[in-house]
């Protein structure tokens, strides 16, 4: 009878996806291809806070972070191959390319290593992906712009880090949004690398050649820099879609107080890195019910709620959310197809 009860409990655990393994000795590496803007710094800060506690609590044995010296795919591929040789049990990765790293990712999987990509996701089927609907976010930028600029007009697009899945998806969404709103026309495009300084220089360079612009659609981390470029050039202030950075929201608040300036802000929360960590830990813990694609919402602010969020964002930082193990379990459950 006792044996039957044990077997029944074991079967129930399997059915519910409950963890069956001990991960206290497991080592998880984080491969990051870029750290040169406020979002990436916030991402690393959140990851460090959560994983340090996970190691201290003996949930995992190690959670080491490795950032490449440049943004190039070959450098990150070599890094992943090195992590394989170092014997890590899982690799969390923010990838430089959605497909160019697939060879290295497959090598990791073939070596029995769990791979979880996020933000910059990979297409290799063996990997897990914590994904945000970036295409929808790009489309929503134009939808929101149509509310603020109902007559339409010329738009400037500021793109992100070239070659990444994020840049491609947001750009595709913006194009889809413009197609649905032919009153708008993209008259210029620059690369801002999701960084205020880079965006400001790029916008300042292209501004003299542009016709009047009513709005800027972008990818986050570039709104404040764009605003500074327009102000320095003495150009009329456009409607700038923001990306949840503290300096952007602070500028928005100042403009709102001055003359009621209206816009919209959205970005993936940098703390999604911690969700990817917990997903890796749950896979190592023996869960068999985790989908390879987990969709999480992006974080957006409107004219009515951004001021309440601003004091909670540290100076120079980004609005974020750090995930717990329980959050990860809830996200997994929400993504399991019934």
* Whole-number Å distance between alpha carbons of 95 and 101: 8
And the tokens for 338? 């019934």
Predicted TM-score (pTM) of this structure = 0.85
| All domains in the chain, ordered by first residue | 27-126+269-297+322-336 (3.40.50.2300), 134-267 (3.40.50.2300)
Count of residues in the chain: 338
Q: In the predicted model, is pLDDT for residue 14 greater than 60?
A: no
* Whole-number Å distance between alpha carbons of 13 and 31: 32
* Whole-number Å distance between alpha carbons of 93 and 73: 12
Dmax over CA atoms of the chain, in Å, equals 83
* Whole-number Å distance between alpha carbons of 57 and 303: 41
> Is the torsion defined by CA of 62, 63, 66, 71 positive or negative?
positive
* Whole-number Å distance between alpha carbons of 222 and 8: 56
Q: In the predicted model, is pLDDT for residue 16 greater than 60?
A: no
Q: In the predicted model, is pLDDT for residue 10 greater than 80?
A: no
- Tens digit of each residue's pLDDT (9 = 90 or more) over 80-121: 999 999 999 999 999 999 999 999 999 999 999 999 999 999
Mean pLDDT of 318-337: 93
* Whole-number Å distance between alpha carbons of 76 and 68: 6
And the tokens for 243? 């990306």
Angle between helices 196-206 and 223-232 (to 10 degrees): 40
Mean pLDDT of 316-335: 94
> HEC profile for the chain?
CHHHHHHHHHHHHHHHCCCCCCCCCCEEEEEECCCCCHHHHHHHHHHHHHHHHHHHCCCCCEEEEEECCCCCHHHHHHHHHHHHHCCCCEEEEECCCCCCCHHHHHHHHHCCCEEEEECCCCCCCCCEEEECCHHHHHHHHHHHHHHHCCCCEEEEEEECCCCCHHHHHHHHHHHHHHHHCCCEEEEEEEECCCCHHHHHHHHHHHHHHCCCCCEEECCCCCHHHHHHHHHHCCCCCCEECECCEHHHHHHHHHHHHHHCCCCCEEECCCCHHHHHHHHHHHHHCCCCCCCCEEECCCEEECCCCHHHHHHHCCCCCECCCCCCHHHHHHHHHHHCCC
- Tens digit of each residue's pLDDT (9 = 90 or more) over 204-247: 999 999 999 999 999 999 999 999 999 999 999 999 999 999 99
Q: In the predicted model, is pLDDT for residue 15 greater than 60?
A: no
The percent of residues in the chain predicted with pLDDT above 70, rounded, is 93
- Tens digit of each residue's pLDDT (9 = 90 or more) over 247-262: 999 999 999 999 999 9
Give the residue among 325, 247, 329, 320 at the shortest CA–CA distance from 46.
Answer: 320
Per the listing, tokens 């399991």 go with 336
* Whole-number Å distance between alpha carbons of 190 and 158: 5
* Whole-number Å distance between alpha carbons of 195 and 36: 8
Per the listing, tokens 């456009």 go with 238
Please answer whether residues 191 and 159 qualify as being in contact, where contact means their C-beta atoms are separated by less than 8 angstroms: yes
């Amino acid at each position: 009878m006792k044996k039957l009860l044990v077997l029944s409990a074991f079967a129930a655990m399997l059915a519910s996806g409950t963890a069956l393994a001990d991960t206290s000795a497991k080592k998880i590496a984080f491969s990051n291809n870029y750290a040169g803007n406020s979002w990436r710094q916030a991402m690393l800060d959140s990851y460090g806070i959560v994983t340090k506690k996970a190691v201290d609590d003996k949930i995992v044995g190690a959670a080491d972070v490795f950032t490449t010296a440049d943004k190039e795919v070959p450098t990150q591929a070599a890094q992943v191959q090195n992590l394989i040789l170092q014997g890590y049990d899982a690799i969390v990765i923010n990838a430089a390319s959605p497909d160019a790293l697939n060879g290295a990712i497959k090598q990791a999987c073939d070596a029995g290593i769990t791979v979880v990509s996020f933000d910059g996701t990979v297409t290799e089927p063996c990997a897990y992906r914590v994904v945000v609907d970036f295409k929808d976010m790009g489309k929503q930028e134009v939808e929101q712009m149509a509310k603020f600029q109902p007559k339409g007009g010329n738009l400037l697009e500021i793109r992100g880090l070239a070659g990444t899945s994020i840049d491609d998806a947001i750009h595709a969404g913006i194009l889809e949004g413009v197609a649905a709103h032919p009153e708008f026309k993209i008259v210029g495009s620059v690369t801002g690398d999701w960084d205020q300084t880079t965006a400001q220089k790029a916008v300042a360079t292209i501004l003299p050649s542009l016709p009047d612009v009513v709005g800027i659609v972008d990818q986050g981390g570039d709104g404040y820099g764009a605003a500074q470029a327009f102000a320095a050039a003495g150009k009329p202030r456009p409607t700038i879609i923001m990306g949840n950075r503290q300096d952007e929201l602070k500028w928005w608040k100042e403009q709102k107080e001055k003359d009621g300036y209206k816009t919209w802000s959205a970005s993936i929360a940098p703390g999604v890195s911690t969700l990817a960590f917990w997903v890796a830990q749950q896979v190592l813990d023996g869960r068999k019910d985790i989908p390879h694609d987990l969709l999480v919402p992006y974080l957006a602010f409107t004219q009515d709620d951004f001021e309440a969020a601003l004091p909670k964002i540290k100076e120079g930082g980004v609005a974020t959310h750090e995930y717990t193990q329980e959050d990860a379990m809830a996200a997994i459950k929400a993504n399991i197809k019934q």
